[in-house]
Amino acid sequence: MKKIVLFMVCFAFLIGVASVSPVEATSHHTYHGDKHEHPMEWEEADKEKAAELIKLGYDKHDIFHALKLSQLANVEVEKILAYYKENKSWEETAAHFGVDKAKVNHHHNWKKHKKYLEENKDKVLPYLASYLNKDEAELTNYLEEGAKLHTLVKASILSKLAGIEIKEILAKSENGQTFREIAEEYKIEKADMFKEMKKLKQAIEE
């Protein structure tokens, strides 16, 4: 069972770093404030609609997923949000509007990955400190400044593989680069990212 969990969280991490859905095309995820549950990048055509829906009180995270389902199902986004508001399940909402639930698995895998890291924070931070040869207080400071734990993990792995300071990785993210773009800049392969993430997960499971 642990091996299954390990594979799922590693896969979710790689999805978050190395792939971008057709909806994710323009804006960037930053570490200060880190307001989204996972990287959400809006198409220009969606931004105006999203602004309208935000004024109506809808959550940005829900709007993002509703817009994606709206495109896949060719249904008005308001109908998607209304249905989701009733059942609170993106899988059920996708099925109701005829969208393969596999298309929303990225969202669920990412949530599991994030929750897994948070639940094991007491093991993650010491591991990252040792991994980067840093004082744990420095990493804690990044969290206090607004970085999320999953952001810190990705930045740490990129820092290690690229051979540059983690603060430089976080600065690049804050300045608008996605982690995917940073990995490409330093020619870091998905296989190498997976290997490093697996080491972290194994350390947590020990």
Among all chains, which residue has been given the structure tokens 């994030």?
A: 114
Question: Which whole number is the average pLDDT over 154-179?
Answer: 92
Domain ranges of the chain: 22-105, 110-205
Report how far residue 79's alpha carbon sits from residue 81's, in angstroms, rounded to the nearest whole number.
5
**CA dist 94 → 36, 51, 130, 164 (Å):** 21, 23, 42, 42
Going by pLDDT thresholds of 50, 70 and 90, the confidence category of residue 27 is very low
φ, ψ (nearest 5 deg) of residue 178:
-80, 160
Weakest-pLDDT range from 71-75, 112-116, 132-136, 150-154: 112-116
Going by pLDDT thresholds of 50, 70 and 90, the confidence category of residue 48 is confident
pLDDT tens per residue across span 75-128: 999 999 999 989 888 888 888 988 877 666 655 566 677 888 889 899 999 999
Taking alpha carbons only, the member of 39, 6, 9 closest to residue 24 is 39
User: Average per-residue pLDDT in the chain?
Assistant: 78
Q: Tell me how many degrees the CA angle 84-86-87 measures, rounded to the nearest 5.
A: 70
Report how far residue 190's alpha carbon sits from residue 183's, in angstroms, rounded to the nearest whole number.
9
